[in-house]
Amino acid sequence: MAYSNELYQQVILDHNRKPRNFRKIEEPTHVCPGHNPLCGDHITVYIHTEGDVVSDVSFEGSGCAISKASASMMTESVKGKTLAEVKKMFEEFHGMLMGELDVDQDQHKLGKLSLFQGVKQYSSRVKCAALSWHALVGALDLKTEISTE
Amino acid sequence: MSTLSIEQIKESFPVLQQQVHGKDLVYMDNAATTQKPQVVLDCLNNFYCKDYATVHRGAYLLSEKATSLFEAVRGKVAQFINAQKEKEIIYVKGTTEAINLVANSWGRKNLKEGDEVLISAMEHHANIVPWQMVCEDVGAVLKVIPMDDKGELIMEEFYALLSERTKFVSVVHVSNALGTINPVKEICQAAKSVGAVSLVDGAQSTAHMKVDVQDMGCDFFAFSSHKIYGPSGAGALYGRYELLKAMPPWQGGGDMIYTVSFEKTEYADPPARFEAGTPAITEIIGMGAAIDYLSSLGMDFVAEKEDELLRYGTAALKEIEGLRLIGEASKKAGVLSFVLDKAHPHDIATIVDGEGVSIRAGHHCAQPVMTRFNIPATARASLAIYNTKKDIDALVRALRIVNDIF
């Protein structure tokens, strides 16, 4: 078994091959480009909100399998959620990548996003998984106490 | 000329005798930095254990010994790159500092509004940004020699760009992102013919081929110790003495002065003029040991062996489904930069690392090169004298795993 199997799980590979919500929203209420200058990944997140609910979310761009799959699965996870729920989810996802949240022990509502827990072992890849999330919270201008730096 | 086998050479690099992720380590990120042979490690250890003291202050024996070991490296560097005089060698932190020194000292003194500085399309950021900064300040114009799809400079375009406005030409000897060996002798001669001064960035060439600055005809040449099997934090700038002599210092401090009063300071002659502050004493002495090591192998031997491995690696990589080599110049040094149809370079690097193979993924501090080839990044295996055909085979096996996963 290859060492990297834990990272490149079938679900992640599937989202990389067939990213969901990989499109532009024509009249988004929020939009934010995310860029990782280290590797040249570009992901733009488009959001449409109604009241405080994310009614539609999508992304475009190019990047590695981890950043693309993470963006794809993020769009599926946050659609229909309130802004407060999105913020909580971001904090849990980020906590998981930083090794502060143990998805097997701690309470969380990450669902299948917990597949990305393997990324925390690859410090150079944490930013790949986090890129679209930073664009999302940036677009929504959700104040969080988390920084990538 | 060495009679050692590559396997024997590999044995003299302690760091390579280990496993990562349960696999034998195959280190192929040599364009970023090289591993150190035992003789270099011993030199550093011996110096710290027996002779360490500051240099150029020697009212005592230890400092005199340290100074003499430190200064002896100047002669080794001069001989290694065939400079005419030892005093043409300036100790620096590395190639980046060397280019910044020339851009700030020579550039700010000599470049005027409307003057042109010529670089190439395949420069490392270290040979782009310092010139941009100086050009912006003085109103000079930075122009770029383009390259073709193989990754070779288009020489007709170079000659078309060259004019009496060209005051400086700064080009990379070997591209870190593509492996292209540039025709630097021709470029330096052409620069001279219009009265321009030339610099050759030797960061990627010095460990891999014979360098002769007099034959090349460059005015400046720079390289880093850590890319020639020596310690990091050291390097050398060669400059023709008459140019150095006319250049102002770029950093002030101790060691670079003749006399200091609060009214006026008289600067020392080169090379001391450009070596303010306590230098990287041990690292420079280690750089000397690395030069001795390379000289003992013989640079013709090194170049021949690495060329053989590059050919082997090029042929092997071309067999991999969906692999496209980036940089196929007819004259190339040991860099195999590539992309795969199915996998992003970062995913490639992570997966092959799991198989024990260390390669680089990214833009290699050469973003304009990536833009030229319309790709965000490449995966890059870069070779050194300790890499074997077995190492290439391990890379090929690992790349097949990448293709299987995707």
**Phi, psi of A54, deg, nearest 5:** -80, 100
Whether B251 is covered by a domain: the verdict is: yes
For residue A64, the chain B residues in CB contact (below 8 A) are 344-347
- The Cα B89–Cα B83 span in angstroms is 8
CATH number of the domain where residue B333 is located: 3.90.1150.10
Is B160 a domain residue? yes
* Beta-carbon separation of A40 and B362 below 8 A: yes
* Subunit contact A3:B347, Cβ cutoff 8 A: no
pLDDT tier for residue A1 given thresholds of 50, 70 and 90: very low
Mean pLDDT over residues B65-93, rounded?
Answer: 98
With 50 as the cut, is the pLDDT of residue A149 above it? no
Choose, out of A3, A38, A70, A123, the residue to mutate when testing the contact with B (most B CBs < 10 Å): A3
Q: Domain for residue B306, yes or no? A: yes
Number of neighbouring beta carbons within 10 Å of residue A131: 29
Is A4's CB within 8 Å of B376's CB? no
For B232, other C-beta atoms within 10 Å of its C-beta total 16
Considering Cα of B398, then B227, then B42, then B48, what sign does the dihedral take? Answer: negative
Q: Do the Cβ atoms of B52 and B69 come closer than 8 Å?
A: no
Give the single-character DSSP code of B169: E
Q: Does the annotation count B43 as an active-site position?
A: no
Whether residues A4 and B351 touch (CB distance < 8 A) is answered with yes
pLDDT in tens, B261-302: 888 888 999 999 999 999 999 999 999 999 999 999 999 999
Judge whether B1 lies within some domain.
no
Which residues 317-336 of B have a C-beta within 8 angstroms of A?
none
Distance from B351 to chain A by nearest Cα, in Å? 6
Residues from chain A that touch B361, judged by Cβ atoms under 8 A, are 39
Query: Which among A124, A54, A119, A59 has a CA at the least distance from the CA of B361?
Result: A124
pLDDT score for A6: 81
Question: B146 vs chain A: nearest CA distance in angstroms?
Answer: 22
Q: Do B278 and B306 belong together in one domain? A: no
| Mean pLDDT score across all residues of chain B | 96
Task: Tell which of B239, B262, B296 closes a domain.
Answer: B296
Q: Which residues of A touch B376 (CB under 8 A)?
A: 39-42, 62-63
Same domain, B180 and B63: yes
Asked if residue B231 and residue B125 are part of one domain, the reply reads yes
B222 membership: H or E segment, kind and range: strand B220-224
Q: Which of B281, B296, B311 is the last residue of a domain?
A: B296
Q: What pLDDT sits at residue A147?
A: 46
**Mean pLDDT (whole number) for B374-401:** 97
* In-domain check, residue B218: yes
Q: How many CB atoms lie within 10 A of CB A76?
A: 15
Find the farthest-apart pair of alpha carbons in chain B and give their distance in angstroms, rounded.
72
Chain A residues whose CB is inside 8 A of the B355 CB are 2-3
Question: B18 lies in a domain?
Answer: yes
pLDDT number for residue B1? 65
Q: What percent of chain B has pLDDT over 70?
A: 100
Domain check: are B291 and B302 in the same one? Answer: no
Encode pLDDT of A86-143 as tens digits.
999 999 999 999 999 999 999 999 999 999 999 998 888 999 999 999 999 999 887 6
Taking only the tens place, the pLDDT of each residue in B325-365 is 999 999 999 999 999 999 999 999 999 999 999 999 988 88
Tokens representing B237 are 């700038």
On average, the pLDDT of chain A sits at 90
Task: Look at domain A3-140 and name its CATH class.
Answer: alpha beta
In this complex, do A62 and B376 lie within 8 Å of one another by their Cβ atoms?
yes
Name the 3-class secondary structure at B262.
Answer: coil
Residues B390, B292 share a domain: no
B308 to B127, B228, B259, B384, B386: CA distances (angstroms): 29, 19, 54, 12, 13
Residue B377 in contact with partner chain A when CB distance is under 8 A: yes
Instruction: Locate the chain A residue with the closest alpha carbon to B344.
Output: A64
Looking at the structure, tell me whether residues B243 and B325 fall in a common domain.
Answer: no
Domain housing B24 = 6-30+298-405
Q: Which of residues 348-367 of B touch A (CB under 8 A)?
A: 350-351, 353-355, 361-363, 367
CB contact under 8 A, A39 and B376: yes
Set of chain B residues whose Cβ sits within 8 Å of the Cβ of A42? 376
- The answer to whether position B35 is within a domain reads no
A63–B377 C-beta distance less than 8 A: no
**Mean local confidence (pLDDT), B89-111:** 98
Residues of chain B with C-beta less than 8 angstroms from the C-beta of A12:
none
Domain ranges of chain A: 3-140
The span from the CA of B76 to the CA of B98, in Å, is 18
| Number of structural domains found in chain B | 2
B120 and B164 inside one domain: yes
Q: Is the domain of B88 the same as that of B203?
A: yes
User: Of the residues B272, B296, B320, which one is the last residue of a structural domain?
Assistant: B296
> Does B37 map to a domain?
no
**What CATH number is attached to the domain comprising B131?**
3.40.640.10
Residues of A with CB under 8 A from a CB of B: 2-4, 7-8, 13, 16, 38-42, 62-66, 122, 124-125, 128
B267 and B319 both lie in a single domain: no
What digits encode the pLDDT tens for the residues B178-223? 999 999 999 999 999 999 999 999 999 999 999 999 999 999 999 9
The three state secondary structure string of A13-61 is HHHHHCCCCECCCCCCCEEEEEEECCCCEEEEEEEEEECCEEEEEEEEE
| Dist. CA A127–CA A38, nearest whole Å | 10
| ipTM here | 0.88
Query: CA B163, CA B377: separation in Å to the nearest integer?
Result: 34
Mutation target vs A (from B19, B21, B346; most A CBs, 10 A cutoff): B346
- The verdict on B119 and B25 lying in the same domain is no
B378 and B249 belong to one structural domain: no
